[in-house]
Structure 1
């Protein structure tokens, strides 16, 4: 299991590199499309210029009868000068009305044109412009595309054509150092006009460089039947992926190395802890003076022995034994002599007990004997005789002294005494008590419980069970008796706990975000939590609910589970010290520690589970948002719904989309949650709007900083960040404690706006997990803008004004102005054009250029229905008045 984080890190690194490769691929594709679009515009611009020149030549420079008479000498000089300035053109030709014969040309050449008239096709945007098909022309010694301008008379008949062959290599020439390959396709017959690659124009057979394999979508040449296919070598994507990857790779390798080192170190620590636990277990179950099993070992062994006797159908004897006349040994020769006697006694008992039997020291001179597997009455008597023989011999003590002690033993037999382990010990203790009462006249040094007289059921030993229900009546009684002690040290405990926590850098950073008043409140809350934890009336369900709330807060303030677990270790250590100082029996103090451990274990489990449950909704929300992207068409709908949904995540109370206006003031276009309350609070405190100016005190909020830096900017705490002083009081008034600004870019990497999120807790947006969430949100917004081509957004519109216009649309503010369309030949209107306007309460009219970009799908649908209804109603009224129109255009 220790290797699992290393494996997960490796898998994450592989996934991250795959994701980075896809990003590099998308970036290369976007650059290629941009370059292809620029290339297509350049080709269109060149053709536009030459067609304009032909149009000017045919309409301004040439006489109307150019088909039968040559141009003037001045015109010829102008044409030759133009050709000298434009080597991409071969010659200016005047061609017959059918386009199949050259009447006059600036060059001496064949009268047969390169392309016959039937080959040339008119352009859709201007039927007077005709474009031929590319082919190799022997007279030009190059591939050319003929272009012509048709000169018509007043009746639209062709008088002549003005044309020129356009060299393909000059038309497709381009200056670009990138490794793109542009292939120009004639969409009329899907033929290849030419290929540009690496500064050369040619065809696949003439290019020296190998063809690229990766390609993107075709780009149309505006206004012409050409299509640009852009291609690039796959190595370009690899280069883009590798570029800037070294720091990332270094971090990934370093993370894997650190995790591997941590796993090795943890394994070493675990082994050491196992060894320590083994030593502690031995110490926990052994008496330190004699090496005999102690009370804890007895509590574990005796129930097992009873279960085995029940299974095997054998008898079991439990004896409670102490030494007679042991106190005079301590009084005469000191406790060292008494300890030596006990050690010698332990050795003798071991030597005379069977391997299946047990002898345990409870404390002082008290011992418990357990005899298992007794099948005959003589077995127990033989064992008791061996013990008595071994103990009645004098003991050698330090200093050459010798001492002799007697024994008293109380016995009970199972299954004759069919009781549980605790009651068997009580019965044996009661028998011992009776035996010592009759020490002067007893027939044996041992006494069997229930023999002759009714033995007392009083016992002086109360054994603490190994497992105490932390919420049961036993736990409640112990805690109730300790309440006065806990209340006296509660405040000191809290101070010591936070002093210990302050030694951890991560915890110190979290606490530093609190103001002094907030820190005092936190300590008071911690003291209350301690009192709840130590309450005798606490239930497990109640503790889990309260711990889940605390865990949620820990998750939101950026505290990792590992830090919580570590702080619980310090918490338990301090609680154990407090319990250890309780003026009570050692057994009660030990039981109290067990109770606290049990409750803290429940507390830790509930908090860690709550931390995970608080973190899980964020990546799940991103996944759902990506799945829903096809539902939205307009940015307005997407942004509005996204902000309404995001504030449902844990700890978020307000969200906003900001964008600066032309004056550098930030305007909030969409908002949700408590943001409206926050704005009203800012107005009450007299705080002006945010500014883009980096030198202004009102330009230090995360939102202007994010716009300027194009990076995520956070405000850990309005209390601890001095830059947030202008907004502190207004934010605290509505419960806002921290904020973050996320820059949003379009598909061309241009800034579109800033998403602002506001949190209920300090430090809520500082963790690595939250920053990963912000990056994912920015990527989803960017993909939506790229898909919907909504990056060319309108100027910022305040949310109040947007809401006002929407209310006017749904509240009867739409007016359709009917504009007649007049036939200039007859002078009569034959159609009307309906123009939509929004009329505000003060009479101001808002044009579509202003309000269309502010409306989403629902508003636009409502606008269409209302506008169509008003327009058709007006047409119906005109029809009723006898005013007939040929049609209606809205």
Structure 2
């Protein structure tokens, strides 16, 4: 009897008649298989872990499977699906196919003996024996297919990651896309990417949804955070060990790995039973970030095939980081310098400088842009160009929070001096989409008492479309809060006009690089700048021109109809204590379009006479 006939009506009838005898035979087969498996020393540890962690009892699982395999109600499709799942699990655990083959044929032999003792005709004995043999063959083929499915899935995943590495365009995009692909892989429960902060705590930059649930469970249970400090109780996790050793570290089971033990209950609560940490190496051979994987089965990261997969995975992530990790960032400082900068940030040694923004219609200062500086041990102010290249997501998060706190606090102080301004603050895309961003902003308002409408957050243009929906959702939440939003550096690269129209932006900053190009082709650049201002204002947004470094450029922006401007011609960045004095003493020399000061302003006046843009309060 072959294939579908083993599940047909005639086979079902025979199985139903023989059910009592086969139940007894199955019970006997389970005992023999249990002995067989426990004689195989290579499998005992993994199977014991499954039992200790409450995932599966070998004897119970074997009995349930054999009862289903011998059921009169079993269909071929269900049997093969179940057997393929067994094959995938065995591949994850590294259980040899030869052991499964031996166990199934042992069970078949015992079942045949039970059938032979039934008071049936010889023909019925032969028919039922053929049914059982056919079902065992089906199971073996499907188990083998399941094992190959997992091997094929790993191979296909590596191909996809290699292709994604060449097309992602940025490290952030690669990390997000790679995590999505890894999350779909069999046995994978949670994924995170992070690195240590200056206090030797691991800070995560990218997290899968289940990992977020794991962190929430850790917090709920009051368990301490991961640490890199080897002397710390929480400093022996696979991630800490991997960072120190620069090699892949594996936690086979939270019940066995003492370093991972503190988080056992939290892990088990969300279905995590094993983990591994892969240090991702940068172009200088130093660990840059950690890739942490969390699995559903104890021991799944310790098999030979998984070891090869992890090595390949580490290689593609390291190559991606080497190629993409610094794209779009300032040049990274030397390691020793970066370490000092991180220490300053961790201590909160941040000071804000404020560059005024002036309404070009009225000449009234209406806002200031908050610009972060690190303060060295000797009081030297360190500009962003010196430290931003060494900052990753955790550092940008902290810098934003500190900058927000300083800016809102200073607004409140200036109010007491009779100077009422708004403040703009840069909001990096990675900070925007952080799950706590909105909470940080709300907390800042609660502490300072500042009205949300006086905070304007500047968002950089970003070509990465990998998380566009997430970014847009975050933008809408901030707008609902009352915060005003500005698109920064418009005209410096990619811009989506439809997005500008559909998203709740209030203003657009025109990139100062546009003004640096004036010397090359003045008429064309002036017309281009005028066109940009018209486009922005045509969308109902305010146009702010950056880089007004001379009176002539201020006149140019005024005549072209820009709403507001900032630059050295109006004011250099000021310490917080000097802003009220500057605001009280600032005087505005109005621009007469009939007598424009300089050639550029004359070109602008020419354009203005042919149809000037409108101006409004910033």
Q: Is the TM-score greater than 0.5?
A: yes
Aligned counterpart, 1:824:
none
Aligned counterpart, 1:867:
509
- Give secondary structure in 2 for the equivalent of 1:698: coil
Between Structure 1 and Structure 2, the one with more helix by share is 2
The verdict on how the C-alpha distance between 1:476 and 1:641 changes in structure 2, with shifts beyond 3 A counting, is: closer
Aligned counterpart in structure 1 of residue 17 of structure 2, from 476, 481, 502: 481
Between Structure 1 and Structure 2, the one with more strand by share is 1
Aligned counterpart in structure 2 of residue 646 of structure 1, from 173, 177, 182: 182
Quick one: distance in 1 between partners of 2:79 and 2:294? Answer: 30
Which stretch of the first structure deviates more once superposed, 687-696 or 631-640? 631-640
The verdict on how the C-alpha distance between 1:873 and 1:607 changes in structure 2, with shifts beyond 3 A counting, is: same
Quick one: distance in 2 between partners of 1:555 and 1:541? Answer: 21
Q: Is the 8 A contact 1:658 1:753 kept in 2?
A: yes
Residue 755 of structure 1 pairs with residue 291 of structure 2? yes
User: Cα offset for 1:525?
Assistant: 3.3
Quick one: distance in 2 between partners of 1:467 and 1:775? Answer: 40
Aligned counterpart in structure 2 of residue 569 of structure 1, from 97, 105, 111: 105
Aligned counterpart, 1:737:
273
Quick one: distance in 1 between partners of 2:2 and 2:213? Answer: 57
Q: How many residues align?
A: 396
CA offset digits 1:218-275 (Å, max 9, x no partner): xxxxxxxxxxxxxxxxxxxxxxxxxxxxxxxxxxxxxxxxxxxxxxxxxxxxxxxxxx
CA offset digits 1:537-587 (Å, max 9, x no partner): 222222112222222222223334444334333333343344445565565
- Give secondary structure in 2 for the equivalent of 1:739: strand
CA offset digits 1:605-655 (Å, max 9, x no partner): 111112211221222121122123232333222222222221111221211
User: Cα offset for 1:666?
Assistant: 1.0
Quick one: distance in 1 between partners of 2:62 and 2:95? Answer: 16
RMSD: 4.1
User: Cα offset for 1:682?
Assistant: 0.6
Aligned counterpart in structure 2 of residue 701 of structure 1, from 224, 228, 237: 237
The answer to which structure, 1 or 2, has the higher relative contact order (CA under 8 A, 6+ apart) is 2
The verdict on how the C-alpha distance between 1:583 and 1:747 changes in structure 2, with shifts beyond 3 A counting, is: farther
- Give secondary structure in 2 for the equivalent of 1:603: helix
User: Cα offset for 1:759?
Assistant: 1.4
Q: Is the 8 A contact 1:468 1:595 kept in 2?
A: no
Aligned counterpart in structure 2 of residue 530 of structure 1, from 58, 66, 77: 66
The structure with the largest alpha-carbon Rg is 1
Q: Is the 8 A contact 1:664 1:693 kept in 2?
A: yes
Quick one: distance in 1 between partners of 2:248 and 2:21? Answer: 50
- Give secondary structure in 2 for the equivalent of 1:743: strand
Residue 712 of structure 1 pairs with residue 248 of structure 2? yes
Quick one: distance in 2 between partners of 1:804 and 1:492? Answer: 67
Q: Is the 8 A contact 1:544 1:602 kept in 2?
A: yes
- 1:542-557 mapped onto 2 (5 Å cutoff): 542-557=78-93
Quick one: distance in 2 between partners of 1:853 and 1:725? Answer: 43
Residue 877 of structure 1 pairs with residue 413 of structure 2? no
Q: Is the 8 A contact 2:190 2:211 kept in 1?
A: yes
User: Cα offset for 1:763?
Assistant: 2.0
The verdict on how the C-alpha distance between 1:543 and 1:675 changes in structure 2, with shifts beyond 3 A counting, is: same
CA offset digits 1:170-205 (Å, max 9, x no partner): xxxxxxxxxxxxxxxxxxxxxxxxxxxxxxxxxxxx
Aligned counterpart, 1:672:
208
Which stretch of the first structure deviates more once superposed, 691-700 or 581-590? 581-590
Quick one: distance in 2 between partners of 1:557 and 1:519? Answer: 13
User: Cα offset for 1:800?
Assistant: 11
What TM-score, normalized by structure 1, do the two folds share?
0.40
Quick one: distance in 2 between partners of 1:480 and 1:703? Answer: 54
Quick one: distance in 2 between partners of 1:581 and 1:794? Answer: 78
Which stretch of the first structure deviates more once superposed, 796-805 or 717-726? 796-805
- 1:181-200 mapped onto 2 (5 Å cutoff): none
- 1:439-454 mapped onto 2 (5 Å cutoff): none
Quick one: distance in 1 between partners of 2:66 and 2:301? Answer: 28
Q: Is the 8 A contact 2:83 2:143 kept in 1?
A: yes
- 1:800-811 mapped onto 2 (5 Å cutoff): 801=397
The verdict on how the C-alpha distance between 1:589 and 1:654 changes in structure 2, with shifts beyond 3 A counting, is: same
Gaps of 5+ in 2: 333-388, 409-422, 428-439, 451-457, 472-485, 491-507, 511-535, 546-556, 566-587, 602-618
What TM-score, normalized by structure 2, do the two folds share?
0.56
- Give secondary structure in 2 for the equivalent of 1:757: strand
